[in-house]
Structure 1
Amino acid sequence: MTATVGRDEQLWSRCGGCAALLYRKRLRRNLDVCPECGAHARLGAPERLRQLVDPSSFVALPDCPDDVDPIGFVDVLPYPHRLTAARAGTGLAEAVVCGTATIGGHPVALAVMDFRFLGGSLGCVVGELITCTAERALTDGVPLVLVTASGGARMQEGALSLMQMATVSQAVGALREAGLLTVSVLTDPTYGGVAASFATNTDVLLAESGARMGFAGPRVIRQVTGRALPEGFQTAEFLLRHGQVDMVVQRRALRGRLVALIAAARSGRRAVRRTETGQLVPRQCAAAPAGPGRTVTGTPDGRTVTGTPDGRTVTGTPDGAGAGDPWDTVRMARHPGRPTTLDYLDSAFDGFIELHGDRLGADCPAVVGGLARLGDRHLMVIGHQKGHHTAELVARNFGMASPAGHRKALRLMRLAARLGLPVVTLVDTPGADPGVRAEEQGQAAAIAESILTLSSLPVPVVAVVTGEGGSGGALALAVADRVLMLQHAVYSVISPEGCAAILWPDSSAAPQAARALRLTAPDLCALGIADDIVAEPVPGAHADPEAAGELLRRAVLANLAPLLDVPPAILVRRRRQRFRRYGAARTTGGVGAPTEVVR
């Protein structure tokens, strides 16, 4: 709905669907649904809570820490200025309101996102708040209700915002293991990292009438494919036809549906006593370290990393790792001669046996995987496959996995778990497939399930970013015990070009965006997202693929060995703790470049 201008602005609204002029009080009585055409206007979180929960029952969770600006991001405005403006414009502290309440007399924990606040974007504090809400649900033994409205992960917090997809997903996974109901209410719009994680990995998905949900937005899909989109594409009704939601619900009926679902779940829990095992340990909202066992101090030149897991203190930038302009690193990561997953399987691993298919009717060429050996150790290797020339790149969809690719990877991960084999993933993708067919087949849900499965896989997982680590498509293979990055690899919440197109006047600012996103290997190690940098032959892996393969082999062996004797339950707990630490991570100023280069 758009308000009319002039002195009658507060009395009348014009419907964005049919352009009817509506009396504002009548529209409010109808829950902001147009009585003429049924269009559902977007609601802020406070109004949504008033409509869903019992009167006076909502109790907000404690606030999270102060402002978070983990990478010192600046586009045309500094990030803190954008936060200040969003708070002034919405009256909210962040893009989500979290707490406990009753719905129809039944206790619940719930998190309600607000699109008005920086597009409902998922940042460190938002991830921390939703995770704390899930942990409160686990502590209280009550259902979790998530009301989503988001454009995706928050660019201004770089790859740390990407990590929130895993952090929140594993908290939802703990509720699943405990037999507690989780419900997503998808409202307009729900896209990107939120759609590809916790919004679609709950037990029940309700879509409010008129809501839109998908991994890639319509504009991106049109730009990438050059195709017109089908009528009603990504709407709630489209999602229902393609089997991606349980039901489409009118706003007036939404509370009643939630009451029925929660009552049924409560009845089931009274009838069956469960032994709850493998739960995450709940904790209060609190500031977290900058990453797994690592803190960052000092200045960009000569910065020191202390408190690494084995007690190391590392200073400087070993052998110039990652030195130079980040935009040059982006171009190096995309070099057509750079070794692909199949190249590494030939040079770094032995006896590769490729396994095909998702067992649902497709075999995505952008993902390859199968059994291999590393020394005398058998393991499962899964990776993105690009190519070196145009025909191969096109045949492999430029390494952009379809839902079938993610489901093939899932099948191989689960097979590895049954066989007790470690998993090694090789990440090199600009992102997941943004096509129409991928959306029809549930791209967001496929990524979400991969993230959730990796968070609880009872075998060692080592991920290596060998080229591009692009957004949720990369994270789907990178929820791991150890995350390595090749010296000239990049890992980011969004491509520099995409970031520039949104936050700068035009995409020609991509080099500036690359610098602001902190996407190089040293940046990611300083933030605690990556653990080590794998050295490359000079000037890069493309110059000597065989040598690059040998360096990768040594790095994987060195990082895998300490994990092999860790009991599965401890392995899973540590992995979850690793990603739990990314909630509300606090790092100020520029990010330096220190870490160990594995040779």
Structure 2
Amino acid sequence: MAEHSAVRALVESIGQGFAEFAPPSSRTSGDGPLDWPGYADQRAAAAGRADADESVLCGRARVGEGEAVLIAFDFAYLGGSVGEDTGARIVAAFEHARELRLPVISLIASGGSRMQEGIRALQQLQAITRACLVVRRDGIPHISVLRDPTTGGMWAALGAAADVVLAAPGARISFGGARVRSASDDGADFRAAGKLADGQVDRVVDEGQLPEVLAELVSLLHPARLTGSPEPAPVPRALGAATLPETGMRAVERARAAERPRAEEYLDAYFTRRFEISGDRSGGRDEGVLCGFGEHDGRTVAFAAQTGSANTAAGFRTAARLVRLADQLGVPVLTLVDTPGAANDAAAERGGIGPAIAEAFSAVAEARVPVTTLVIGEGGSGGALALADPDRTWVTPDAFFAVIAPESAAAILKREPSEVPDLADDLKLRPQDLVELGFARGIAR
């Protein structure tokens, strides 16, 4: 009773007026499809402990400014495991979300598929995956919260499949549960902090902060807010120098100046609030690329912003992930370009920097939503161009864009260092040159 009350209390702390959905007709009777000895008794005992007849609680509630569908796992019921009836309830909850056009919030604490139901239980992973995919195709966001523990199929089919993934501090998160892997494999890699560091989780959130964080996400990503064809994100105003550089080298020096406004300042000035996503979901994070969703003049705008460093493969993959998610949800995108170029060391090559840049190029090229680009600092070759829209790019007076840095051009052409300023002029990299050459539509003021 106490554990179930805690789960219901969690649900009711997140959503006001929680109303549970009527469950689909039960498919499981007696000792189940395998005639597992004592399974009926096990389910009866679990129901008594959890004060529930299954391991999930599904319903709708008001979360902040809008309604959402909630799916909450009760670990007291057979370890939050998933059988046929569990899967049917989860799939039905996604169908409700699709019919009502409400975001889905899954609060997961599960040991995986229920062994007493064998392959019938395992098949639920396919059904749940299809349900997640259907709502995604309909532009409905899915937010997962990984509680302790989240293992097995519910991490792979439900938690990791979400658009935004949150985790409870210290939560055990892994595909293989603790009892089926080596006892030595129980370090940070299997906990929430490790998943955050590896780019598999967007944010670790304390339970006390969870209602506020989820309310913010529901507000920014609610389908009711994202209707129709989005207008392009307005071009941010320039925050730095107002005058144009007289020479190419002066443009380079101003873009590299430590006092020049950076991405954080532009995002703070542009958005009244914002939520950042983190990681490429493939094992990496790059703090040199800030991605997420924010509110600008009452509208939701997605952003991918370079912070001035040489970006890694994880950074480009995270940016591509953001653009594709925005496209899925119908949210316009703002990209801020500021990088000397992509990382080019051995680690970058092993990490797949080339394919990652290609992924970012493709995401921008394929986007059906408008992408607005502002170059706010260095525009270094393909690593910068990957985030720039070919038709909607602007540049600030203290920025430049070049096929190659003038110093590197000198090295390739075997010129003396004293010739670097002349090469900067030859490269036509100043803001006014970029407009004249047709690369930029204008200079932000």
Indicate the structure (1 or 2) with the bigger Cα radius of gyration: 2
Task: Provide the TM-score with structure 1 as the length reference.
Answer: 0.36
Task: Provide the TM-score with structure 2 as the length reference.
Answer: 0.49
Higher RCO, Cα 8 Å, sep 6+: 1
